[in-house]
Amino acid sequence: MQIKKIVDLSIPVTSKTPVYPGDPKPHLSAAANIEEHGYNVSKLNIGSHTGTHVDAPYHITKEGKKIDEVSLTHFAGEGIVLDVTHKNPAEGITIEDIRGDLEKLRSGTIALFHTGWDAHLESELYYKHPYLTIELVTELLNRGVRTFFIDALNIDPPDGSSFQAHEAITGLNGIIGENFTNFDQIDFEHPFVTAFPLNMPGIDGSPVRAVAMEFE
């Protein structure tokens, strides 16, 4: 088996990477350099939900699994790109929006919500993203979907008025991924998506380097 194409689904992590309001702002700096120490080492000051990341159930649910306790099978699988680029700022994504793709969504698949909001990454509009309605989330959970990725800052309403989608998914020890990008570049069928977290015991989430792969 050979890889024909790889699409990078991760946004760059810099001091300007947008974070959820109140989260730690990333700061990257030099800790050692070749001139003084003979080698380069960098210091990374980031939150567990910086950049493209995954939420462990423990992020929202006190009794939920921590990132090191979640089966790695939740972070890899066939991705189903759901085109919802027609949605407006702060508008809910409904079952009707993905009606044509519902039959593709089943246990083991990864739902990729393509809002196109990554195009607004460097603007204030990024904070006014579309979100997943609880009716949509419930439908997918009932179909066995346990992994939800979105190319926006958050799967819940941008005004912070509700965390229903987070609560429903993490309540079943499902996985949420946010700040993804380049879903529009997945131009092949049956993409195999991976977004593995760092092995950090007891933590509520982790940055990831997510990719979509096409195999020969």
Provide the b/e sequence for 155-181 (b: ≥16 CB within 10 Å).
bbbbeeeeebbbebbbeebbbbbbbbb
Q: What's the rounded Cα separation, in Å, for the pair 79 and 213? A: 10
Token pair 């997918």 is at which residue? 140
Domain boundaries along the sequence of the chain? 3-14+48-215
Phi, psi of 188 (to 5 degrees): -135, 160
Percent of the chain past pLDDT 90, that is, above it, reads 98
Predicted local confidence at residue 1, as pLDDT: 81
Could you read off the pLDDT of 174-202 as tens digits, one per residue? Answer: 999 999 999 999 999 999 999 999 999 99
Nearest to 71, CA basis, from 146, 9, 143: 146
Angle between helix 164-171 and 134-142 (nearest 10): 20
Taking the whole predicted model, whether its pTM rises above 0.85 is answered as: yes
Could you read off the pLDDT of 89-147 as tens digits, one per residue? Answer: 999 999 999 999 999 999 999 999 999 999 999 999 999 999 999 999 999 999 999 99
Cβ contact 141:174 at 8 Å = yes
Output the CATH code of domain 3-14+48-215: 3.50.30.50
Predicted local confidence at residue 114, as pLDDT: 98
Provide the b/e sequence for 117-131 (b: ≥16 CB within 10 Å).
bbebbeeeebbbbbb
Task: Say yes or no to pLDDT of 74 above 90.
Answer: yes
Question: How far is C-alpha 131 from the chain's CA centre?
Answer: 13
Max Cα-Cα span within the chain: 60
